[in-house]
Amino acid sequence: MKLAWLALAVGALAAETPDFATRVQPRLVKAGCFSGACHGAGSGQNGFKLSLLGYDAEADYRAIVYQFRGRRVNLVRPEDSLLLKKATFELAHGGGKRFPADSETYRTALEWLRGGAPYESAGRRRITALKITPAASSAARKGERVALRLTAAFSDGSQDDATAYALYWSNDDAIAKVDETGIATVNGAGETAVTARYMGLFATARVGLPFAGDPGQIERATPTAASFIDGRINHNLRRLRLLPSPQCTDSEFLRRAHLDILGTLPTVEEARAFLESREPDKRRSMVTALLERPEYADYWSLWLLDLFRLQSKNIGERHVPLFAGWLKDQLRADASFAQIARAMLTSTGDAVRTPALNFLRANDNPKLLGELATESLMGSRSRCAQCHDHPFDSWTQTQYHQFVSFFVRVNRTEDGIKLADHGEIEHPKTGKRVEPGFPDGKRAVIGGEDRRPALADWLVEPGNRYFARSIANRVWARLMGRGLIEPVDDLSASNAPTNPELLADLADFFQRGYSLKSLIREIANSAAYQRSAQANPVNAPDDRFYSRALAAPLGAYALADAISQATGVPEPFGKLPLGVRAIQVADSNVESYLLDVCGRCPREASCDLPNAGAGGVRQMLHFMNGPAIQAKIAAAGGRLDRLRSQKAAPEAMVEEFYLAALSRPPSGPENDYWLSRIAAGKDPGAAMEDLIWGLLNSRAFVFNR
């Protein structure tokens, strides 16, 4: 009888005592004990190491309770535990005071120690969901505060108010800044994501302040849309009171679409024909025609080569054009992008006969192959999870190694890929073999010795939250100047899209057939894509809701070709035949002064990073003073030389260069200025060269929009 009573008493005590994993550790994480600047650092602090942000609760429990013979806890006199005395600064502590003795964190830790410092409560529970409220809030004025509330749900049906113990951050403090208690202060017009992290899960709320647009005017400027793209964007514009810019001019659309789809300026003849056309649907017709031109495959295959980081240094000089040629064939045929990805991930054999396998020949380290696959095909940065659970994403250390295990049996040969019949990867913490698995927690079902088909199946299956969203977001960024998620290779749990509904719709649209051409066509035909870049007083600050076109510097290949096309002088590229265009140069290691000046990506690392060379001071100085432009202006056989030999009238010459460079004729004042300069100068030819130099150095030329 006494034993039964004692068992009941101990059980009741255990049930009432806070456990370490779900009550004590989250409070210590909030106090900063597990941060990278404290004991969560790679080597810990002063011999005491905890996991970064508490990703490994079991190891942390052992370090606190048992390490150094349990010196950090005192279960006989809990108040004297070093864990409490150091954190409250009753004893000297290099990390300073982490929480006061009258705090909830102190009381919880003390109660845990008094209850015997259990790892788990009597009824073991694990966190299953995290909810933040309000999910969206719109302030009425600057300085208004929004109190966010965070609720954690657990496997036993219980819920905790986690508001005080979560970690918070804002994607844009200029719009809304959040403090450590979950109170967001609105600082400016717009909307941003505020993210909360608790016990490895994330929840995001949208917080913002509408702009100052007139609702009636905005309603008239955003009529009912036929495109799902415009429906989503117009809803946002009305909700945020953002007045959109009007439709761009025909010349702006002509230049924009040619550069975005072909990486190529329209010719003078194409510009004249389009501007003179009275066809009511000429923009839609032109987009369809552009997607069938060979330059489309040339230009977009370069994007993929940059995305996959393939260069002669890692796959061999003769294999780059083979892989590029295969990509071009797939793009011309509008092959399913899912099948392209599948071929790259699963091919074996000889790289000449099967160029797709060169993706896996980028290096012979399975971890680097896994990281390349996640970054390029999933838009996800898994690298941090190699050493610890990702602090800002849902990748765990185990999931990282599960993903890498798909590649451990892939062996690179001199000219191909062969599959080994053995090879495993061990978990760095346990030393045990890691079976293949996916970052969404799904179990991998391996049908044979080759693990990669299971990975490809998972990647392109309907509902996969990585592949379709990532490619759709990247294509959107290329055409619209900014991704719905930025950076485009950070589709993490803590990086919310500016328009989640639109990104979901784009991914669904893309997933129907994984047609890159269809996705490009749908975006290019939208009213959002065809807006002017000219800002109005309301939308001038907007850089993420697509109320206006966003100007962006031309990419290196498009800019190099634009210079050659406008001047009529081809650019040499290494040992390639003269006349090969920049968008046909597959290998990033081909020698080219002009491409280097224009800021091409060397593919040594991600090409998603902002291009320091494009549109910067270095490029400007080279264009103003170097041979990139100077040597082409009056070169023999060039456009100016040809017009001079034809004795073209000054008016015709001025118009042709405006059409060649900017896809529009000169305005009246522009025409009058240059004709007067030519007529008044002692050297009319010098004035004409000044015109060309000015056009090619103008923002209108080196930027797209």
Residue 535 falls inside a structural domain = no
Task: Verify that 106 and 167 share a domain, yes or no.
Answer: no
Task: Indicate whether 474 pLDDT > 90.
Answer: yes
* Residue 109 bridge partners (DSSP): none
pLDDT class of 274 with cuts at 50, 70, 90: very high
Alpha-carbon gap, residue 194 to 179, rounded angstroms: 10
Among residues 281, 117, 139, which one has the least CA distance to residue 210? 139
pLDDT class of 4 with cuts at 50, 70, 90: very low
Both tokens assigned to 319: 């294999």
The whole domain housing 175 covers 127-209
Among residues 196, 200, 204, which one has the least CA distance to residue 391? 200
* Residue 349 bridge partners (DSSP): 417
Task: Verify that 649 and 680 share a domain, yes or no.
Answer: yes
Sign of the CA dihedral 271, 275, 278, 283?
positive
Residue 542 falls inside a structural domain = no
Give residue 507's identity as a one-letter amino acid code: A
Alpha-carbon gap, residue 426 to 398, rounded angstroms: 10
Alpha-carbon gap, residue 260 to 476, rounded angstroms: 11
What integer pLDDT is reported at residue 610 of this predicted model? 62
Expressed in angstroms, the distance from the first to the final Cα of the chain is 85
Contact 372, 314 (CB under 8 A): no
435 conformational bin, left if phi > 0, alpha if psi -120 to 50, beta if neither: beta
What integer pLDDT is reported at residue 348 of this predicted model? 95
Could you give phi then psi for residue 275, rounded to 5 degrees?
-70, -30
Contact 533, 551 (CB under 8 A): yes
Contact 500, 508 (CB under 8 A): no
Domain final residue pick, 448, 481, 514:
514
Residue 456 falls inside a structural domain = yes
Residue 319 falls inside a structural domain = no
What integer pLDDT is reported at residue 15 of this predicted model? 52
pTM assigned to the model? 0.93
Residue entry with tokens 């040339």: 298
Omega prior to 666 cis, within 30 of 0: no
| pLDDT per residue as tens digits for the range 500-544 | 999 999 999 999 999 999 999 999 999 999 999 999 999 999 999
Task: Verify that 360 and 461 share a domain, yes or no.
Answer: yes
Both tokens assigned to 322: 């083979």
| pLDDT per residue as tens digits for the range 188-231 | 999 999 999 999 999 999 999 999 999 999 999 999 888 999 99
Task: Verify that 487 and 615 share a domain, yes or no.
Answer: no
Q: Per-residue DSSP letters for 370-434?
A: HHHHHHHHH----GGGGTS--TTSS--HHHHHHHHTTTTTEEE-SSEEEE-S----B-TTT--B-
Contact 568, 582 (CB under 8 A): no
* Average pLDDT of the chain, as a whole number: 93
Alpha-carbon gap, residue 418 to 412, rounded angstroms: 7
pLDDT class of 624 with cuts at 50, 70, 90: confident
Domain final residue pick, 154, 187, 209:
209
Give residue 149's identity as a one-letter amino acid code: R
Task: Verify that 34 and 55 share a domain, yes or no.
Answer: yes
3-state secondary structure 499-567: CHHHHHHHHHHHHCCCCHHHHHHHHHCCCCCCECCCCCCCCCCCCCCCCCCCCEECCHHHHHHHHHHHH
Q: Which residues contact 566 (CB under 8 A, 6 or more apart)?
A: 265, 639, 657, 660, 661, 692, 695, 696, 701
Question: Within 10 Å of residue 579's Cβ, how many Cβ atoms?
Answer: 11
Task: Verify that 341 and 480 share a domain, yes or no.
Answer: yes
Task: Verify that 353 and 485 share a domain, yes or no.
Answer: yes
The share of the chain scoring above pLDDT 70, in percent, equals 97
| pLDDT per residue as tens digits for the range 553-605 | 999 999 999 999 999 999 999 999 999 999 999 999 999 999 999 999 999 98
Task: Indicate whether 616 pLDDT > 80.
Answer: no
Task: Verify that 407 and 475 share a domain, yes or no.
Answer: yes
Task: Verify that 566 and 637 share a domain, yes or no.
Answer: yes
Q: Per-residue pLDDT averaged across 232-240, rounded?
A: 97
Domain final residue pick, 514, 543, 571:
514
3-state secondary structure 92-138: CCCCCCCCCCCCHHHHHHHHHHHCCCCCCCCCCCCEEEEEEECCEEE
Alpha-carbon gap, residue 178 to 191, rounded angstroms: 13
- Cβ-in-10-Å burial (0-12, 13-18, 19+) of 543 comes to middle
Residue 144 falls inside a structural domain = yes
Task: Verify that 389 and 488 share a domain, yes or no.
Answer: yes
Task: Indicate whether 12 pLDDT > 70.
Answer: no
Residue 320 falls inside a structural domain = no
Q: Per-residue pLDDT averaged across 49-59, rounded?
A: 91
Residue 132 falls inside a structural domain = yes
What integer pLDDT is reported at residue 5 of this predicted model? 33
Task: Verify that 74 and 174 share a domain, yes or no.
Answer: no
Both tokens assigned to 183: 């109170």
pLDDT class of 612 with cuts at 50, 70, 90: low
| pLDDT per residue as tens digits for the range 445-460 | 898 889 999 999 999 9
What integer pLDDT is reported at residue 681 of this predicted model? 76
Q: Which residues contact 367 (CB under 8 A, 6 or more apart)?
A: 386, 404
Q: How many CA atoms lie within 13 A of 515 on its CB side?
A: 14
Task: Verify that 107 and 137 share a domain, yes or no.
Answer: no
Residue 532 falls inside a structural domain = no
Question: Within 10 Å of residue 380's Cβ, how many Cβ atoms?
Answer: 27
Alpha-carbon gap, residue 130 to 204, rounded angstroms: 10
Give the chain's domain count: 4
